[in-house]
Amino acid sequence: MMAAEAGAAANTLAAYRRDLEGASGHLAGRLGEADAAALRDLGKSWLSLARSSVARKASALRRFFGFLAEEGLRRDDPSDALPRPGTARTLPKVLGHGDVDRLFVEVARRLDEARSPAHLRLSALIELLYGSGLRATELVSLPRHLIRAEQPYAILRGKGGRERLVPVSDRARAAVAAYAATLPKDAAWLFPSGKKHLSRVRLFQIVRELAMAAGIDPERISPHVLRHAFATHLLEGGADLRALQTMLGHADIATTQIYTHVDSRRLVELVNQRHPLVDAPPAKS
C-alpha cells in the first residue's frame, strides 16, 4: 500500500520497515494482534529516544493499524494508545554567502590545478546541489542525459514519485557538460560508480572533504545543508514561497515555511521594496 498507493520513496519504505520490524520484535512477533495495553508498553520502551524518533515510530504504527482496519483485518484500531510527543521543528543549518563562496573558490582552485574527471565531477555536484536545491538521492541518481546544455530546467521524479520542474543555472549546465564529456557514451547515470551510481554516503564524504579544504567546519555542512542554503538564499533574494515549494518538491507548503527564519529586518525590507503600494501616495485622512 505504501509503495503502490501512497507512492512512498525507497528511503521512506525502508524506515517504515525498520520501525515495524522493531515493534514486532518487541511484541514477540504479535504486532498485528497487539491491543492497547501492549502498545502502551511498547511506547514506554521508547522513553529514552528523541521526540522525533518516537513520533516517527508512532506514525508508522498508526499507519499500519489504520491499514489493518481499512482492509477488514481487524475490527478495532488500538493505535490511540501510542504516545503523541509531537515534534519540535528545528531550524535548518544554514551556510552564509561567504561560506558558499569559499566552497566555490576551492572548486575553482582545483579546476585550475587540473581539469581531471574527479575535479569536473566535484564542480558538477556542487553546482547542482547549491544551484538547483536537489536532494542527495535525486542528485546521485540523475540519469546521464537528463540535464541538457540547451535546456535551463529538468523534469525530475523526486520524493514520493512526484514530478517537478527543477531550474538548472547556466553555470550548472556548463559544469555538467564539461564533466559529462568525460563519461562513456553508454553511461546510464550522470554520476556512475561501479555498476550503479554514486552513493549518498560518498556524496556526503565529498562535500565534507571540500568544506575542510575550504576552511569550513565540516560538522556544519552536508548535501542537505547546501539544499537549505539554496532555499534560504533564494528566499532572502525575494523568491516567492510557493515557487520555492515547487522547486524544492515539498508536498506541503508548511514544510517550505521553515525557510522563513530569515531575519525580520530582511523581511521588512522586502515588503518596503516590493509591495505594489510602495510608490502609491498615502491615503488622505
Q: Note whether 51 and 190 are same-domain residues.
A: no
The per-residue pLDDT of the chain, averaged, comes to: 84
Window from 23-37, 100-114, 142-156 with minimum mean pLDDT: 142-156
228 counts as catalytic: no
Residue 276 lies in a domain: no
pLDDT in tens, 185-206: 889 999 999 889 999 999 999 9
235 contact partners, CB below 8 Å, separation of at least 6 = 241, 244, 259, 260, 262
Q: Note whether 124 and 42 are same-domain residues.
A: no
159 counts as catalytic: yes
Q: Note whether 51 and 103 are same-domain residues.
A: no
pTM of the model: 0.62
Q: Note whether 64 and 195 are same-domain residues.
A: no
Residue 202 lies in a domain: yes
Residue 277 lies in a domain: no
Q: Note whether 34 and 112 are same-domain residues.
A: no
* Mean pLDDT across 148-162: 79
Q: Note whether 172 and 60 are same-domain residues.
A: no
CATH number at residue 34: 1.10.150.130
Residue numbers of the domain that contains 118: 97-266
74 counts as catalytic: no
In this prediction, residue 143 carries a pLDDT of 93
pLDDT level of residue 10 (50, 70, 90 thresholds): confident
Residue 279 has pLDDT above 70, yes or no: no
Q: Identify the active-site residue in 121, 159, 197, 208.
A: 159
261 counts as catalytic: no
259 counts as catalytic: yes
pLDDT in tens, 223-251: 988 988 888 888 777 777 777 777 777 76
Closest by CA position to 221, among listed 234, 213, 131:
213
Q: Note whether 24 and 66 are same-domain residues.
A: yes
Q: Identify the active-site residue in 135, 173, 208, 233.
A: 135
In this prediction, residue 269 carries a pLDDT of 61
Window from 76-80, 87-91, 111-115 with minimum mean pLDDT: 87-91
Residue 243 lies in a domain: yes
Residue 267 has pLDDT above 60, yes or no: no
In this prediction, residue 263 carries a pLDDT of 45
* Mean pLDDT across 16-29: 93
pLDDT level of residue 264 (50, 70, 90 thresholds): very low
227 counts as catalytic: yes
Q: Note whether 111 and 14 are same-domain residues.
A: no
Q: Are 186 and 150 in contact (CB under 8 A)?
A: no
Q: Identify the active-site residue in 26, 56, 62, 224.
A: 224
Q: Identify the active-site residue in 102, 197, 208, 227.
A: 227
Window from 123-132, 168-177, 276-285 with minimum mean pLDDT: 276-285
| Whole-angstrom Cα Rg for the chain | 23
